[in-house]
């Protein structure tokens, strides 16, 4: 009986850690890489090497689309205008803030980016999203080429799961306070993992 309780406790703790790790993903453009365990690691969630291929992003009406596991969070997006940045390059003097805000609904959110007028077309940039869902800062990066016109950049990916067109690159209306429609699929997935883990622990002991 004691053994069963101990193993149950252990598995519960491991699973709780997984639940806490249901953070956020960068869905468009794709980030350098995602690993839930490494996402708390600055500057890029454990992915320290710039991508071999850079996505073209427009200087105007640009955005990053994320999928949030947390219902409420704040975020900051920084631009690092350097060709081949290494970790020590991610310091405040090199980082230019291009977005900042918060959302009060889970899942899809479109984060509009505002680049300074002084940024020239055909500039390489690494964008760093710093996300705070309440369980520590989380990091994701994408390596891009900023251009005047980016036909390959899919503007239709900018979607807010609260159903509103708020905070999109074209119309910068203040975020609405609509009720979120549903919970996060990420969190649901981790909760299911937890339940399965508990069941398995009972079967094993």
Q: Interface with ligand NAG by CB under 6 A: which residues?
A: 54, 83, 122, 124
Q: Smallest distance from the beta carbon of 90 to Cu ion, in angstroms? A: 21
Asked if 34 is part of the footprint of Cu ion (rule: CB under 5 A), the reply reads no
Smaller CB distance to ligand NAG: residue 75 or 90? 90
CB neighbour list of residue 73: distance below 8 Å, 6 or more residues apart: 24, 102, 103, 131, 132, 133, 134
Q: Which of ligand NAG, Cu ion, none does residue 124 bind (CB under 5 to 8 Å by kind)? A: ligand NAG
Residues 132-161 that bind Cu ion (CB under 5 A): 133, 135
Pick from 15, 23, 58, 103 the residue near Cu ion by CB under 5 A.
23
95-103 and 55-58 beta bridge pairing: unpaired
Smaller CB distance to ligand NAG: residue 61 or 124? 124
Strand partners, 55: 144
Smaller CB distance to Cu ion: residue 27 or 51? 27
123-132 and 73-80 beta bridge pairing: antiparallel
Q: Which of ligand NAG, Cu ion, none does residue 32 bind (CB under 5 to 8 Å by kind)? A: none
In sequence order, what DSSP letters do the residues of 171-187 get, joined into one string?
--PPPP-PPP-S--HHH
95-103 and 123-132 beta bridge pairing: unpaired
Contact 63, 153 (CB under 8 A): no
Smaller CB distance to ligand NAG: residue 116 or 120? 120
Q: Which residues bind Cu ion (CB under 5 A)?
A: 23, 133, 135
């Amino acid at each position: 009986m004691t053994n069963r309780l101990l193993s149950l406790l252990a598995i519960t703790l491991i699973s709780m850690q997984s639940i806490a790790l249901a953070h956020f993903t960068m869905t468009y453009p794709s980030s350098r890489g995602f690993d839930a365990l490494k996402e708390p690691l600055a500057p890029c969630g454990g992915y320290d090497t710039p991508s071999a291929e850079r996505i073209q992003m427009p200087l105007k009406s640009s955005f990053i689309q994320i999928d949030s596991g947390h219902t409420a969070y704040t975020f900051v997006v920084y631009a690092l205008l350097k060709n081949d940045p290494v970790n020590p390059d991610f310091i405040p003097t090199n980082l230019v803030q291009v977005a900042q805000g918060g959302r009060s609904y889970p899942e899809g959110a479109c984060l509009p980016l505002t680049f300074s007028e002084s940024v020239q077309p055909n500039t390489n940039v690494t964008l760093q999203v710093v996300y705070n869902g309440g369980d520590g800062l989380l990091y994701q990066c994408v390596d891009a080429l900023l251009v005047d016109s980016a036909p390959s950049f899919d503007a239709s990916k900018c979607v807010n799961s609260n159903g509103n067109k708020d905070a999109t690159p074209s119309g910068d209306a203040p975020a609405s306070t609509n009720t979120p429609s549903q919970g996060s699929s990420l969190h649901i997935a981790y909760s299911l993992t937890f339940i399965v883990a508990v069941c398995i622990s009972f079967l094993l002991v």
